[in-house]
């Protein structure tokens, strides 16, 4: 990830943390490998936390941090690649003190889990990291949920353990989903969690194994505490907190109840029907920005499905609720707002938009590709129904 420039001087707390790292070396000169977990930050691309692998080889001096989270926003075509879901990240090896400096300055907590590996496993993992950090090997195709900084760390450890990590994690589940984790971690920024919740399709609602949910760095840290190494002992031999967390903590788990959304949607629909008896122009004027929002969001979801590699946004059922066909309602709505009739076909298109919203309700009940959008259904279906009743005869 991009790092702001900063003076080379470290704070006292960072120096103390590095000193603690060196204490075990007094009695053990073997190579150690640790998992560095960084808590979520305040910038939108830091909301999910971060992690890295640390190789501490006394023969080579300061521990080295192998960080999979670097990208270059200045590379040619970066914005276009980001939009289309073709992101290239790279693994960078840098001194641990340099890697920690950014997190110390931004108030993000950092902890390290030292792995209880055999000497051969540690050496094999260290050699693989050094090889992959070479310029010709460092770049990789970033996938937000399935191939990111946390999954790369997880997979590197699993390879060193000859698959033992995956075997212990893939058969268990906490019931988390990609949508649930995304909305939870993005919740401090309302626009961000709304974007995830609206833009993710049914593929994001499949219950994840503990192996899969380890795409979140903090979940990976929890998972590592629950497994054993190849020798039968706990894989995490020791943990240290290197930096305190001084900003807002990681959001807790939460669920969105659907009934407040239903109350809000039903109230809006009811008001539209009542108001249309005497003030249809005002109802139509209020409906215009709603339909315009449906067009914009629906077109964006359709673009993600058809033209990008963001596969967890494909087949999005919210397309039936935030329907781009609302574009066909705008001319009629504008005419009604100006005191004229809606025109030929206006009532028919109102019915089509309502029928699509009803179809989304049936899709919620079909178990083939369920999407957890009950709250959006509860909000938007009554609004579409209310506008249909209010304006269909205009």
At residue 39, the pLDDT reads 97
At residue 391, the pLDDT reads 95
Q: 140, 129, 143, 155: which is closest to 211 by C-alpha?
A: 155
226-233: long-range contacts, CB 8 A cutoff, minimum separation 24: 226/168, 227/164, 227/165, 227/168, 227/169, 228/164, 228/168, 229/115, 229/116, 229/117, 229/118, 229/121, 229/161, 229/164, 230/118, 230/121, 230/161, 230/162, 230/164, 231/116, 231/118, 233/116
Q: 139, 133, 101: which is closest to 17 by C-alpha?
A: 101
Tell me, what DSSP letter sits at residue 166? Answer: H
**Six-digit token pair at 234?**
């706990």
The pLDDT tens digits of the residues spanning 294-319 come to 999 999 999 999 999 999 999 999 99
Report the distance separating Cα 371 and Cα 376, nearest Å: 11
pLDDT over 90 for what percent of the chain?
84
3-class DSSP state for residue 339? Answer: coil
Pairing of strands 110-115, 236-243: antiparallel
Count Cβ atoms below 10 Å from residue 384 Cβ, excluding itself. Answer: 27
DSSP 91-127: EEEEEHHHHHHHHHHHT--EEEEEE---HHHHHHHHH
pLDDT band at 46 (very low <50, low <70, confident <90, very high): very high
pLDDT of residue 195 exceeding 60, the answer is yes
- Residue range 80-107: mean pLDDT, rounded: 94
Q: CA triplet 118, 92, 312: central angle to 5 degrees?
A: 95
Mean pLDDT of the chain: 92
Report the distance separating Cα 202 and Cα 220, nearest Å: 24
**Six-digit token pair at 252?**
């807790």
Sheet-wide strand order for 32-38: 139-142, 87-95, 64-70, 50-56, 32-38, 110-115, 236-243
Q: Name every residue whose Cβ is closer than 8 Å to that of residue 364 and which is 6 or more positions away in sequence.
A: 317, 370, 371, 373, 374, 377
3-class DSSP state for residue 278? Answer: coil
**Six-digit token pair at 14?**
């960072």
Instruction: Please report the sign of the dihedral spanned by the C-alpha atoms of residue 266, residue 268, residue 271, residue 275.
Output: negative
3-class DSSP state for residue 50? Answer: strand
Report the distance separating Cα 244 and Cα 170, nearest Å: 32
Question: What is the number of alpha carbons within 13 Å of residue 145 lying toward its C-beta?
Answer: 22
pTM for the model stands at: 0.89
Listed range (18-27, 37-46, 331-340) with the worst mean pLDDT: 18-27
Residue with the larger pLDDT of the pair 352 and 72: 352
Cβ–Cβ < 8 Å for 318, 355: no
The pLDDT tens digits of the residues spanning 354-367 come to 999 999 999 998 87
pLDDT of residue 290 exceeding 70, the answer is yes
pLDDT band at 22 (very low <50, low <70, confident <90, very high): low
At residue 2, the pLDDT reads 46
The pLDDT tens digits of the residues spanning 95-129 come to 999 999 999 999 999 999 999 999 999 999 999 99
For residue 241, give the H/E element and its range: strand 236-243
At residue 30, the pLDDT reads 85
């Amino acid at each position: 990830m991009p790092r702001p420039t900063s003076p080379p001087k470290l704070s006292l707390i960072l120096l103390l943390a590095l000193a603690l790292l060196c204490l075990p070396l007094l009695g053990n000169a073997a190579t150690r490998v640790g998992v560095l977990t960084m808590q979520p930050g305040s910038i939108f691309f830091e909301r999910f936390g971060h992690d890295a692998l640390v190789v501490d080889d006394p023969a080579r001096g300061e521990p080295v941090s192998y960080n999979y989270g670097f990208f270059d926003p200045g590379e040619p075509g970066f914005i276009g690649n980001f939009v289309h879901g073709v992101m290239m990240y790279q693994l960078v090896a840098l001194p641990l003190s340099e890697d920690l400096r950014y997190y110390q300055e931004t108030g993000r907590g950092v902890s390290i889990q030292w792995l209880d590996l055999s000497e051969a496993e540690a050496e094999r993992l260290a050699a693989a990291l050094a090889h992959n950090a070479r310029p010709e090997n460092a770049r990789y195709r970033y996938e937000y949920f399935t191939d990111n900084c946390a999954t790369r760390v997880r997979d590197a450890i699993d390879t060193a353990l000859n698959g033992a990590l995956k075997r212990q994690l893939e058969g268990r589940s906490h019931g988390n989903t990609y949508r649930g984790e995304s909305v939870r971690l993005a919740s401090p920024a309302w626009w961000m969690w709304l974007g995830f919740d609206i833009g993710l399709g049914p593929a994001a609602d499949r219950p994840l194994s503990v192996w899969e949910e380890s795409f979140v760095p903090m979940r990976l840290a929890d998972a590592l505490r629950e497994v054993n190494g190849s020798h039968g002992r706990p894989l995490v031999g020791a943990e240290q907190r290197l930096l305190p967390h001084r900003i807002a903590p990681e959001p807790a788990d939460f669920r969105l109840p659907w009934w407040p959304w239903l109350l809000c949607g039903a109230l809006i629909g009811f008001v539209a029907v009542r108001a249309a008896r005497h003030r249809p122009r005002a109802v139509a004027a209020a409906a215009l920005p709603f339909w315009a929002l449906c067009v914009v969001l629906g077109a964006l979801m359709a673009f993600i499905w058809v033209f990008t590699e963001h596969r967890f946004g494909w087949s999005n059922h919210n397309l039936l609720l935030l329907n781009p066909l609302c574009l066909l309602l705008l001319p009629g709505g504008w005419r009604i707002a100006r005191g004229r009739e809606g025109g030929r076909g206006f009532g028919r298109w109102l019915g089509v938009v309502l029928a699509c919203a009803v179809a989304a309700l049936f899709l919620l009940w079909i178990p083939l590709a369920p999407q957890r959008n009950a709250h959006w259904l509860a909000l938007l279906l009554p609004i579409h129904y209310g506008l249909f009743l209010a304006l269909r005869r205009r």
